[in-house]
Amino acid sequence: MRVIVEPTPEAAAVRAASRVASLVRRRPDCVLALSSGSTPVRVYQELVRLHRESGLDFSQVRTFNLDEYVGLDRDDPRSFAAYIGKHLIRHVNLGRDRAESPDGRAPDPVAECARYEAAIAAAGGLDLALLGIGADGHIAFNEPGSSLRSRTRVKTLARKTLRANAPGFGDAADVPRLALTMGIGTLLDARACVLLAFGAEKAQAVQAAVEGPVTAQVPASALQLHPEVSVVLDEAAASDLARLDYYRETEVAQRALEAALAGGR
Ligand code: GLP
């Protein structure tokens, strides 16, 4: 895991966005898995800025949303499909037909999960998954206890998640209890992952994910098994990490190496 700590959420978002942008430039037809929630909003803003000001071209990119609430139509403003549309798709040159999400209104949600996995495979697999983290360590909607090899499936949301996601619905009681979500195995098959976290309320989950044991009780800890993961944090989210000094030293050395390699080209 490459742990990158930036002074502010803004700087961390720019860092994560530049990772996505460099992939899009290198591989214009790349396949992205996209997270909802408040954390990636600034990343999407930066990608939109890069599109407008530097011509970052999304015309051949395909996106797959990580998850969706069961029962919500993609046009429902509370759906994650609408969220990604509002924050990214509408503002860049990525056709709506290239922006996929699990269908929360599918009559057979189990079959819909199988269809979604097949669609990801047919697209050639995920090149990069942009992930947030729940305060309980969940990624996408893989709640604690999720199988580390799980694929896209229906999950029951934990009470803590219902409370955290209540603002979009008015009340925790109105948040759908079920969601369709990519599994941990689906995410581990992505060629790269970027995990983003901001704020002190994420510090404990980040510490457990990065430095704790790999356990289904902290789904994000499964990312330790992935060879290509960047964890991009602001100072507050990094504040519980025991080996913070080492991550900072690593980052300085890594940047020097990258600059030397770029100079030699
Ligand atoms: C939801 C989403 C996750 C997201 C998490 C954290 O549960 N399913 O993909 O990472 O919330 O959201 P936030 O960034 O708002 O803290």
pLDDT digit string, tens, across residues 197-228: 999 999 999 999 999 999 999 999 999 999 99
Structure tokens at 85: 């549309």
pLDDT tens per residue, range 48-93? 999 999 999 999 999 999 999 999 999 999 999 999 999 999 999 9
48 CB under 6 A from ligand 1?
no
Asked if residue 125 lies in contact with residue 30, where contact means CB atoms within 8 angstroms, the answer is: no
- Quick one: which atom of ligand 1 is closest to the CA of 157? 7
Structure tokens at 195: 């995990």
Please list the pLDDT of the chain residue by residue as tens digits (265 residues). 999 999 999 999 999 999 999 999 999 999 999 999 999 999 999 999 999 999 999 999 999 999 999 999 999 999 999 999 999 999 999 998 999 999 999 999 999 999 999 999 999 999 999 999 999 999 999 999 999 999 999 999 999 899 999 988 988 889 999 999 999 999 999 999 999 999 999 999 999 999 999 999 999 999 999 999 999 999 999 999 999 999 999 999 998 998 999 887 7
Residue bearing the CA closest to ligand 1, atom 13: 37
Q: How many CA atoms lie within 13 A of 78 on its CB side?
A: 16
Question: Which of 67, 112, 117, 127 is an active site residue?
Answer: 67
Strand order in the sheet with 67-69: 67-69, 178-181, 153-156
Sign of the alpha-carbon dihedral angle for 51, 54, 60, 66: negative
Question: Which of 117, 127, 143, 235 is an active site residue?
Answer: 143
pTM of the model: 0.96
First to last CA, the chain: 26
Q: Give the position of tokens 């992939």.
A: 23
143 included as an active-site residue: yes
From ligand 1's centre to the CA of 255, what distance in Å? Answer: 29
